[in-house]
Amino acid sequence: MSDKHHLVSCIIPVYNGERFLAEAIDSILSQTYKVTEIVVIDDGSTDGTPDVVRGYGNRLRYARQTNAGKSAARNHGIRLATGEFIAFLDADDLWHSEKLARQIDRFIARPELGYCLTHRQNFWVSERAGEAARLQDHRLTEAHPGTASTFIARTECFNLVGPLNDRLKNRDIQEWMLRADRLGVVREVMPDVLVSRRIHDSNESRQRRKEEWFDIIKQSLDSKRQNKSGK
């Protein structure tokens, strides 16, 4: 790779995301790195999501599926993508304008690099300002390494590692990373804060995310025990 002419497929999975989707799309369109295709996968929205997308005309690709979850939508996007790179952006998050440029630089500098993450900064919607104030000194108000919207990989990594596990609703990228690690795929976590993550979720969805960690851990413990008894 010599120059910045590598197409990046930016995949936005969206479910009833009319409120913030335009901001997310705009944050891709205002990237300093311009060689992008935007693929919006509508996971069966029942709100005005299709109207938001229509407003962008042919500047993005749009596909709709029956509601199957965010990971299935990301996989759908990967199948449609034509780029050399796959990047994910959640419909409620924002990329900083240098995000792709800085990451593509890393791939150019490191031909062995398989995928790359960055730090991100949480911000709270106005209805949750109370929580932002309560958590003022909490580690979650500081920049921290993120997955999802910070993730970009060489498309060929998905051929090697396989698609995301779409039975997981939220921890799909971490689970993919565990598989990639086992295959020796090289990862870099950039210290730069290049993504803003909007916190507006419900207690229920937080609980669900925690539950999925237990499923991943349980699987890992079971497979450790199986390996041991097999030897």
Partner 1 sequence: MLNENTRLITDDQQVAAKVMDGEAILINLSNGLYYSIAGTGGMIWSLIENGYSLEEIADTLSRQFSVPKQEVISDVRQLASKLLSESLVTVGDSDASANTDSSLPHDVSTSYETPTLKKFDDMADMFALDPPLPGLADAPVIENPKRSQE
Question: Quick one: tokens of 76?
Answer: 């759908």
Question: Quick one: tokens of 216?
Answer: 């991943």
Q: Does 144 bind partner 1 (CB under 8 A)?
A: yes
53/91 with CB nearer partner 1: 91
Smallest separation, CB 163 to partner 1 (Å): 19
For the beta carbon of residue 201, count every other beta carbon within 10 angstroms. Answer: 13
- Please, where are the H alpha helices in the chain? 21-29, 49-54, 70-80, 99-109, 129-134, 155-161, 172-182, 203-230
Smallest separation, CB 122 to partner 1 (Å): 9
Q: Does 80 bind partner 1 (CB under 8 A)?
A: no
Q: Which amino acid is present at 205?
A: S
Q: Does 227 bind partner 1 (CB under 8 A)?
A: no
Binding residue for partner 1, selected from 148, 168, 193, 194, defined by CB under 8 A: 148
Binding residue for partner 1, selected from 178, 179, 188, 190, defined by CB under 8 A: 178
Binding residue for partner 1, selected from 177, 180, 194, 195, defined by CB under 8 A: 177
Stretch binding partner 1 (CB under 8 A), from 39-47, 81-89, 99-107, 205-213? 205-213
How far is residue 132 from each of residues 19, 21, 160, 201, measured CA to CA in Å? 20, 22, 40, 13
Torsion region of 44: left, alpha or beta (phi above 0 gives left; psi -120 to 50 gives alpha):
left
Question: Quick one: tokens of 179?
Answer: 């598989």
Interface with partner 1 by CB under 8 A: which residues?
117, 131, 133-140, 144-148, 174, 177-178, 189, 199, 201-203, 206-207, 209-211, 213-214, 216-218, 220-221
